[in-house]
């Protein structure tokens, strides 16, 4: 049975991410090119994967935060605070969380279980305006629903993520 539509797109994107994580960049690029041809209007998904691919040779396997300052990419600062949905989601065992800051702020990004207990703090410190991403490595966590929350100045947002093993 062949996959179609959203299911096919999601599986292709997940496989590209898997290839990047396995450092099989040629396979990742080939599949990304097919994804781009098949779903040219899904700009946000394609941009996220493209950034993952472009970062791959020096990719950050330890879960340390990567910064994509707007000034270094010829863009203006983000217009507002935002927290994006993690990608991929569902995931196993790693996922990337992206956020944007329009001005400098003390930022805390944490992962919480369903009971609201802090599982891990991914970011806790001062950040300049710009776009950021951080990877959560959940190899030692059980499958299930988790939440991630950002506090940046007066901005707070929470989103749900799903770890499937």
* Tens-digit pLDDT profile for residues 26-45: 788 888 888 888 888 877 77
Residues 75 and 48 in one domain: no
- pLDDT of amino acid 70: 47
Q: Examine the domain organization and report whether 105 and 154 are in the same domain.
A: yes
Q: Are residues 22 and 82 in the same domain?
A: no
> Residues 23, 75: one domain?
no
The whole domain housing 20 covers 5-58
Best CA proximity match to 133, nearest among 102, 109, 159: 109
Same domain, 45 and 79: no
Q: What is the pLDDT of residue 71?
A: 47
Supply the pLDDT for residue 46. 75
- 102 with 132, same domain: the answer is yes
pLDDT confidence of residue 12: 83
Task: Give yes or no: residues 54 and 70 share one domain.
Answer: no
CA dihedral 154, 159, 133, 127 (to 10 degrees): 10
Residue with tokens 């090119």: 33
Q: Are residues 102 and 151 in the same domain?
A: yes
User: How confident is the model at residue 34, as a pLDDT?
Assistant: 87
Burial 25-34 (b: 16+ CB within 10 A, else e): eeebeebbee
For residues 47 and 14, state if they share a domain.
yes
What helix, strand, coil percent values describe the chain, rounded to 5?
Answer: 30, 35, 35
Which residue intervals of the chain are DSSP H helices? Answer: 5-21, 25-38, 43-55
Residue 163 confidence (pLDDT): 96
Q: Do both 153 and 119 map to the same domain?
A: yes
User: pLDDT 10s digit of each residue in the chain, 165 long?
Assistant: 466 777 788 788 888 877 776 767 778 888 888 888 888 887 777 777 776 666 554 444 434 444 544 444 445 677 889 999 999 999 999 999 999 998 999 999 999 999 899 999 999 999 988 889 999 999 999 999 999 999 999 999 999 999 998
Supply the pLDDT for residue 56: 54
Q: Could you say which of 38, 58, 78 is where a domain stops?
A: 58
Residues 25 and 79 reside in one and the same domain: no
Could you say which of 18, 37, 58 is where a domain stops? 58
The verdict on pTM exceeding 0.75 is no
* The total number of structural domains that make up the chain: 2
The CATH number linked to 88 is 2.60.40.1930
Residues 80 and 145 occupy one common structural domain: yes
């Amino acid at each position: 049975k062949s996959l179609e539509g959203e299911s096919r797109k999601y599986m292709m994107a997940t496989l590209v991410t898997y290839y990047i994580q396995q450092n099989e960049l040629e396979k990742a690029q080939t599949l990304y090119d097919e994804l781009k041809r098949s779903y040219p209007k899904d700009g946000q998904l394609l941009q996220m994967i493209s950034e993952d691919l472009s970062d791959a040779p020096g990719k950050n396997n330890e879960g340390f935060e990567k910064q994509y300052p707007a000034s270094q990419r010829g863009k203006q600062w983000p217009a507002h605070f935002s927290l994006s949905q993690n990608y991929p989601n569902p995931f196993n065992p790693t996922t990337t969380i992206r956020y944007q800051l329009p001005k400098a702020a003390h930022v805390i990004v944490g992962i919480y279980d369903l009971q609201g207990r802090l599982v891990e703090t991914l970011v806790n410190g001062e950040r300049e305006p710009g776009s950021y991403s951080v990877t959560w490595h959940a190899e030692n966590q059980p499958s299930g629903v988790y939440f991630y929350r950002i506090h940046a100045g007066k901005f707070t947002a929470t989103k749900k993520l799903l770890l499937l093993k």
